[in-house]
C-alpha cells in the first residue's frame, strides 16, 4: 500500500545500512525520499541501488551551517530519519578522546543539528526517528562513546517529543545488526563467523539485518499515535 504517497522523507545517513534500506521501503510506499551523507561515492552507489528513484545530497551533518543550508531547500518535511554514525569506540583507559568526540559528532550532533533545522518544516502527523543502540540498554564493556550517546539520545527523544509536539519524536535502539557499519571493525570473513556465533546467543537465534530495523522506522512514520517511544530491535540481545 502506498501509505507514504506524496510524503517528503529525509534520511541523514541514508547512503548505506539501515538508512538505505529505510529509503528503499519508503520509496516503495510512495514517498519522495532524499538521502544525505558525507561521501558522494556512497550516495551515487545508493542511488544506483535504488534505480535512480532517490534524491541525493552531500552533507556533513555534524556541521550546523551545512545542515541549515540543506533544510532551507525544503518547504516541508514529513518524516526525518537520522541514522548517521561512524567513528571510534573503545575502552576508557586506552581511549583516544579526540577520536571519541568524533563519534559524538557523527551520531549525537548530526541528530541534534538535523532536528533543529528540520523541525520548523514539520507538524501534525509528521515524525522524527532517532537512533540509540543496544549499549544504552545493556552494559557492554569498551563502549564509552556509544553508551553515552545512546543514553543521551533516548532521554532527548522523550524531551523533544514534548518540545516539538505535535511533531512526533521516537527512538530506535538496534542490537547488533549486520550492516556495512561492521566493515570498520572486522573483515568480511570474520564478520560471518562473528554473526553466526552471535546468533546462537540471542533468543531469536538469527542474525539481525537492516530490513529488521527498517520495519520499526516505517512503523514510527505511519503511527500517528506514537511519540516519545523507544523501540528495541535487538532479537532479545538485551535480555542475555
Ligand atoms: N549496525 C549495528 O549493529 C548497530 C547497533 C546499534 C546501533 N546502531 C545504530 O543504528 C544507526 C544506523 O546504523 P548502520 O549500521 O546503518 O550504520 P552505517 O551502515 O555505518 O551507516 C551510517 C551512515 O551514516 C553516514 N554518516 C556518518 N557520519 C556522517 C555525518 N557526519 N554526516 C552525515 N552522514 C554521516 C554514513 O555515510 P558517509 O560515510 O557517506 O557519511 C552512512 O550513510 C546508527 O545510529 C548506529 O549507531 C547500529
Query: What does the H/E/C string look like for 19-51?
Result: HHHHHHHHHHCCCEEEEEECCHHHHHHHHHHCC
* pLDDT for residue 87: 77
CA distance 95 to 199: 29
d(CA 97, CA 95) in angstroms, rounded, equals 6
User: Does the bond joining 166 to the residue before it have cis omega, within 30 degrees of 0?
Assistant: yes
Determine the pLDDT at residue 165.
Answer: 98
Q: 119 near 82, Cβ under 8 Å?
A: no
| Beta strand segments in the chain, E | 8-12, 32-37, 55-58, 79-82, 127-131, 168-174, 230-233
Confidence of residue 128 (pLDDT cuts 50, 70, 90): very high
Distance from the alpha carbon of residue 77 to the mean position of ligand 1, in angstroms: 21
Average pLDDT, the chain: 96
> Of 25, 45, 80, 83, which is best to mutate to test ligand 1, by the most ligand atoms within 8 angstroms of its C-beta?
83
Q: Please tell me the distance between residue 15's alpha carbon and the centre of ligand 1 in angstroms.
A: 9
pLDDT at 143: 92
13 Cα–ligand 1 center, Å: 6
What are the tens digits of pLDDT across the range 57-109? 999 999 999 999 999 999 999 999 999 998 777 899 999 999 999 999 999 99
Q: Output the pLDDT for position 88.
A: 74
CATH class of the domain whose range is 8-181+209-234: alpha beta
- Given this model, what pLDDT does residue 178 score? 97
Amino acid at each position: 500500500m502506498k501509505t507514504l504517497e506524496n510524503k517528503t522523507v529525509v534520511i541523514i545517513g541514508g547512503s548505506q545500512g539501515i538508512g538505505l534500506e529505510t529509503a528503499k521501503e519508503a520509496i516503495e510506499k510512495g514517498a519522495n525520499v532524499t538521502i544525505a551523507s558525507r561521501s558522494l561515492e556512497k550516495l551515487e552507489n545508493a542511488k544506483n541501488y535504488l534505480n535512480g528513484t532517490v534524491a541525493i545530497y552531500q552533507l556533513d551533518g555534524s556541521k550546523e551551517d551545512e545542515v541549515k543550508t540543506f533544510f532551507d531547500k525544503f518547504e516541508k518535511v514529513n518524516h526525518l530519519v537520522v541514522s548517521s554514525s561512524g567513528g571510534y569506540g573503545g575502552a576508557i583507559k586506552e581511549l583516544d578522546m579526540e577520536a571519541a568526540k568524533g563519534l559524538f559528532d557523527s551520531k549525537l550532533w548530526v541528530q541534534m543539528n538535523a532536528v533543529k533545522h528540520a523541525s520548523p518544516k514539520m507538524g501534525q502527523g509528521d515524525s522524527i526517528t532517532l537512533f540509540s543502540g543496544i549499549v544504552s540498554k545493556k552494559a557492554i564493556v569498551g563502549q564509552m562513546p556509544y553508551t553515552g550517546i545512546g543514553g543521551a539520545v533516548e532521554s532527548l527523544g522523550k524531551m523533544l517529543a514534548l518540545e516539538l509536539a505535535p511533531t512526533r519524536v521516537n527512538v530506535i535502539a538496534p542490537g547488533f545488526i549486520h550492516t556495512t557499519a561492521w566493515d570498520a571493525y572486522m573483515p568480511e570473513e570474520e564478520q560471518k563467523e562473528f554473526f553466526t556465533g552471535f546468533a546462537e546467543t540471542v533468543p531469536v537465534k538469527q542474525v539481525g539485518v537492516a530490513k529488521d530495523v527498517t520495519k520499526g522506522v516505517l512503523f514510527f512514520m505511519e503511527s500517528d499515535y506514537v511519540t516519545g517511544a523507544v523501540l528495541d530491535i535487538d532479537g532479545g540481545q538485551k535480555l542475555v
